[in-house]
Amino acid sequence: MRTENFVSDVVRRAVEALYGPLDGEQLQIQKTRREFEGDYTLVTFPLLRRSRKSPEATAEEIGGHIVANAPEVEAFNVVKGFLNLKLSGAFWGARFAEAKAEPRFGEAPDTGRTIMIEYSSPNTNKPLHLGHVRNNLLGYSVAQILRACGHRVIRANLVNDRGIHICKSMLAWKLYGGGETPASSGMKGDHLVGKYYVEFDKHYKEQIRELVAAGQSEEEAKKNAPVMREAQEMLRRWEARDPEVRALWETMNGWVYEGFDATYAAMGVAFDKVYYESQTYLLGKNIVEEGLAKGVFYRRPDNSVWIDLTGDGLDEKLLLRGDGTSVYMTQDLGTAFRRFEDNRLDDMIYVVGNEQNYHFQVLKLVLKKLGYAWSDHITHLSYGMVELPEGKMKSREGTVVDADDLIAGMVQTAREMSDELGKLDGCSEEEAAAVSSMVGLGALKYFILKVDPKKTMLFDPRESIDFNG
């Protein structure tokens, strides 16, 4: 039932009961202005020739008749010649129940378009931090908006679970961990692994200082530091599928995934598909061979494969190393192809920081030169970095705002402020905790999303949990 139609019928019946048939005459009914009490307003001036009374008296007479005969209208008031009608709570409850019963309640008509949006994309060598919070909230919000517009949306996460940075945490745990686990330490798994990423950097810097003191240049020392050489060797063993390295990798990644899942749940974000770089980093090699055959790419004497984009105002881009190993662009070419083919995508949106603007510019151009028409349907949702008053966050140095700490801090502040204001009086502990969580997370999401995505955010933890304004 349309509310406007219902109100019109109620008013028409009252007018005709009082003054006779309207004979097709239209009633002037509109939504009540914000400064007056009521839901709908009848303009009585056109009815005065029938009532032969003043505007106020006519409005009082019609309003009294409606309230006496239509229980859905609980009250009325008159402002000069305007009759303001207030609908009952029972009426609105019935309308909401009708709407909720609709199979596609709150959804736009299906557009038939399938859109994948990739966000989060964490590394498994550290916990999620404030930068990831901005990424996740932007990505999830855009996904919700697109879904509300009637598109079929696939929320995707590409987990960076391989590479030298992962081996750094693994090696540090092996050298200095003493068998520590999430269970033995009481730490979330992602925090435990992140602890050893910082530990690696501490020993790496110390070894660099020792080598420089012994006469090596800083550049030489960075390459020759024993822990870096061991990490590179571990990466080679991982790529060779060494059973011992792979077992440690699976164990430590498992700790991280449990930690990530807890943080995602606290943030209120989710995914429909999760991809892993360890499964996708080789995908682009066939596309590189295809580009060579088409003459789009070229091979250098050292066997590496490149594309020359200088004619497009860019530079020359490496696509495959001389030893045949992939680079990020190789992986992204293959992953984009596989996603469009497997999911029959109409659009692909990457939520990635603006440090990767050039990368996505190149990705789209390379795919276009290879003849993939869907390259025009790739969008990079670029957003600004989140910086602290002290400068950029650095995970390897531990100078980050941890996502779990931030969430817990927001919830705790919401609880303290609500207690001070007496907002939780009479609530059970369970109810108070639920309210604090909703308010704290709502404030965090507002703080993040109110800033234009393109802008770099300056985040001061001391000011972020100010609930004023």
Q: What is the pLDDT of residue 1?
A: 64
For domain 113-272, give the CATH superfamily: HUPs (3.40.50.620)
Average pLDDT of the segment spanning 88-105: 87
Cα 178 to Cα 160: distance, rounded to the nearest angstrom: 26
* Predicted confidence (pLDDT) per residue in 40-73, tens digit: 999 999 999 999 999 999 999 999 999 999 999 9
Instruction: Give the residue among 342, 200, 390, 351 at the shortest CA–CA distance from 271.
Output: 351
pLDDT digits (tens, 9 = 90+) for 385-429: 887 666 554 544 455 788 998 899 888 888 888 888 888 888 999
CA–CA gap between residue 244 and residue 345 (Å, rounded): 39
Estimate to the nearest angstrom the gap between the alpha carbon of 53 and the chain centroid.
Answer: 61
For residue 116, the cross-strand partners are 154, 348
Token couple for 78? 């008159």
Q: What is the pTM of this model?
A: 0.75
**What residue segments make up the domains of the chain, in order of their start?**
3-92, 113-272, 281-375, 403-464
Task: Note the pLDDT of residue 431.
Answer: 92
The pLDDT, as a whole number, for residue 122 is 96
What pLDDT score was predicted for residue 393? 46
Rounded Cα–Cα distance for residues 375 and 181 (Å): 45
* Alpha-carbon distances, residue 119 vs 128, 131, 139, 340, 382 (angstroms): 13, 12, 5, 17, 11
Task: Quick: pLDDT tens for 179-217.
Answer: 999 999 999 999 999 999 999 999 999 999 999 999 999
The domain 3-92 is placed in CATH, from the list 3.30.230.10, 3.40.720.10, 3.20.20.140, 3.30.1360.70, at 3.30.1360.70
As a whole number of angstroms, the distance between CA 334 and CA 328 comes to 10
